[in-house]
Amino acid sequence: MDAFKVIGGNPLRGDVVISGAKNAALPILMSALLSKTPIVFSNVPKLNDILTTVKLLGQLGAKTQWLSDNQLMIDASSIDICRAPYDLVKTMRASILVLGPLLARMGHAEVSLPGGCAIGARPVNLHIEGLKLMGADITVEDGYIIAKKEGRLSGATILMDMVSVTGTENLMMAAALADGITIIENAAREPEIVDLAECLISMGAKITGAGTNTLTIEGVSELNGKEYSVMPDRIETGTFLVAAAVTQGHIKCLNTDPTALEAVLAKLKEAGALITTGEDWIEIEMTGPAKAVNIRTAPHPAFPTDMQAQFMTMNVLAEGTATVIETIFENRFMHVPELQRMGADIALEGNTAIVKGVETLNGAQVMATDLRASASLVIAGLVAKSPTQVDRIYHIDRGYLCIEGKLQGLGANITRIKAD
Ligand X SMILES: C=C(OP(=O)(O)O)C(=O)O
Query: Angle at which helices 99-106 and 165-176 pack, to 10 degrees?
Result: 10
82, interface contact from ligand X, ligand UD1, none, CB < 5-8 Å by kind: none
In this chain, which of 28, 32, 47, 94 binds ligand X, going by CB under 6 A? 94
DSSP state of 364: -
Q: Does 105 bind ligand X (CB under 6 A)?
A: no
The Cα 408–Cα 410 span in angstroms is 5
Nearer to ligand UD1, 128 or 378 (CB): 128
> Restricting to residues 351-390, which ones interact with ligand X according to CB under 6 A?
371-372
Q: Is 22 annotated as a binding residue?
A: yes
Backbone angles phi, psi at 345, to 5 degrees: -110, 95
17, interface contact from ligand X, ligand UD1, none, CB < 5-8 Å by kind: none
Binding mask 393-412 for ligand X (x = CB under 6 A): ------x-------------
Task: Render 28-91 in DSSP notation, one character per residue.
Answer: HHHGGGGBSS-EEEES---SHHHHHHHHHHHHTT-EEEEEETTEEEEE-TT----EE-HHHHTT
CA angle 104, 105, 106 (to 5 degrees): 100
Name the nearest CA neighbour of 169 among 144, 189, 149: 189
The Cα 100–Cα 85 span in angstroms is 16
Backbone angles phi, psi at 196, to 5 degrees: -65, -45
Q: Is 385 annotated as a binding residue?
A: no
In this chain, which of 75, 236, 257, 306 binds ligand UD1, going by CB under 6 A? 306
DSSP state of 107: S
Closest approach of ligand UD1 to the CB of residue 191, in Å? 11
Q: Is-contact 156 199, C-beta < 8 A?
A: no
Q: Is 152 annotated as a binding residue?
A: no
Q: Does 97 bind ligand X (CB under 6 A)?
A: no
Q: Does 162 bind ligand UD1 (CB under 6 A)?
A: yes
Closest approach of ligand X to the CB of residue 420, in Å? 28
Closest approach of ligand UD1 to the CB of residue 278, in Å? 27
Closest approach of ligand X to the CB of residue 272, in Å? 26
In this chain, which of 46, 76, 93, 194 binds ligand X, going by CB under 6 A? 93
The Cα 156–Cα 382 span in angstroms is 50
Nearer to ligand UD1, 37 or 327 (CB): 327
CA angle 195, 196, 198 (to 5 degrees): 65
Q: Is 392 annotated as a binding residue?
A: no
Nearer to ligand X, 23 or 256 (CB): 23
Q: Does 338 bind ligand X (CB under 6 A)?
A: no
Binding mask 117-136 for ligand UD1 (x = CB under 6 A): ---xxxxxxxx---------
Name the nearest CA neighbour of 240 among 387, 100, 38, 411: 411
Q: Is-contact 320 270, C-beta < 8 A?
A: no
328, interface contact from ligand UD1, ligand X, none, CB < 5-8 Å by kind: ligand UD1
In this chain, which of 4, 16, 18, 23 binds ligand X, going by CB under 6 A? 23
Name the nearest CA neighbour of 40 among 74, 78, 76: 74
Q: Is 234 annotated as a binding residue?
A: no
CA distances to 97, 101, 146, 290 from 110, rounded to whole Å, are: 12, 12, 5, 49
Closest approach of ligand X to the CB of residue 75, in Å? 25
Residues that bind ligand UD1 (CB under 6 A): 23, 26, 94, 120-127, 162, 164-167, 305-306, 328-329
Active-site annotation, residues: 117
Residues that bind ligand X (CB under 6 A): 23, 93-94, 306, 371-372, 399
Annotated binding site for UDP-N-acetyl-alpha-D-glucosamine: 93, 306, 328
Annotated binding site: 22-23, 93, 306, 328
